[in-house]
Amino acid sequence: MSDTAISENAHDTAHDHDAHDHPQEKQYWVIFAILAVLTAVEVAWSYLGLTGPALVLPLIVMMLAKFFLVAGVFMHLYFDLKMLNGKYFTWAFAGAVVLAVIVYLVVFATFHFRFAYFG
């Protein structure tokens, strides 16, 4: 499908973009290897018998790393966000992630402060 015949309003490069800007297969394998290693480290970390923040914080960091790798590379979010020529629609998704995190963290905060106050 060629867009060349479409006149003034087709200011777009959506189709060739797929071909050039996305990572090569090799990069996918590399990302996958990183994900696999992260998962292994996560599981190992949970067996160290740590408690409290020492257990939770590294796990959260690794979880977020995995999240961003999958969303950023496999879902092309990183590439789409970087290309501002009409690709900013993915902000709708990125915005939803941020919104969800903030809203639900506030819910937990209200529960936390309620218990802190009322016991």
Partner 1 sequence: MTDVTVDQVVDHHDDHGGGHASSLGLSNMKLAFWLFLGSECLLFGALISSYLLSKTRFITEIIAGNPNVVSTMPAELIQEFQEKGSVEPMFDIPFTSLSSFVLLMSSLSMVLAHSAIVKGDQRNTRLWLGTTAMLGSIFIGGQIYEFTAFYREGLTFTNNLFGSAFFTLTGFHGIHVTGGIIMLLSLLFLSFQGKLNSSRAETVELVGLYWHFVDVVWVLIFTIVYLIP
Partner 2 sequence: MAIIEGEPLALPSGTPDDRPNPLGVFARPHNATGFKDWLTTVDHKKIGIMYGAAAMFFLILGGVSALLIRIQLATPNNTFLSADAYNQVFTMHGTIMVFLVVMPIGAAFANFLMPLQVGARDVAFPRINAFSFWVFLFGGLMLNTSWFLGGGADGGWFNYAPNNGIAYSPSSGIDFWNIGLLIAGIGSLTGAINLITTVLNMRAPGMSFMKMPVFVWMTLVTQFLLLFAIPVLTVAQVLLMLDRQFDSNFFNVEQGADPLLWQHLFWIFGHPEVYLMILPAFGIVSEIIPTFSRKPIFGYPFMVFSGVAIGFMGWGVWAHHMFVSGLGPLSVSAFSVATMFIAVPTGVKILNWLATMWGGKLTLNTAMLFSIGLVTQFTIGGLSGVSHAIAPSDTQQTDTYYIVAHFHYVLFGGALFGFVAGMYFWWPKAFGYKLGEKLGKWNFWGMVIGFNLTFGPMHILGLQGMPRRMQTYDDAMGLNLWNFVASVGSFILGVATLLVLVNAYLSSRKWKAAGRPDVGPDPWDGRTIEWSIQSPAPNHNFDVDPVVTSLDDFWHRKYAEDESGKIRRVATGAQLAQPGNGEGVHLPASSYWPIVLAASFPIIGYGIMFTLWLTIPGGLLLVLGLYGWSLEPADDLDLPHDHDDHADLAGVGASHD
Binding site for partner 2 (CB under 8 A): 1, 8-9, 89, 92, 96, 99, 102-103, 106-107, 109-111, 113-114, 116-118
Give the one residue of 97, 109, 113, 114 binding partner 1; rule: CB under 8 A. 97
79 binds, among partner 1, partner 2, none (CB under 5 to 8 A by kind): none
Residue 71's region, left for phi above 0, alpha for psi from -120 to 50, else beta, is alpha
110 binds, among partner 1, partner 2, none (CB under 5 to 8 A by kind): partner 2
Q: Are 45 and 58 in contact (CB under 8 A)?
A: yes
Q: Are 69 and 35 in contact (CB under 8 A)?
A: yes
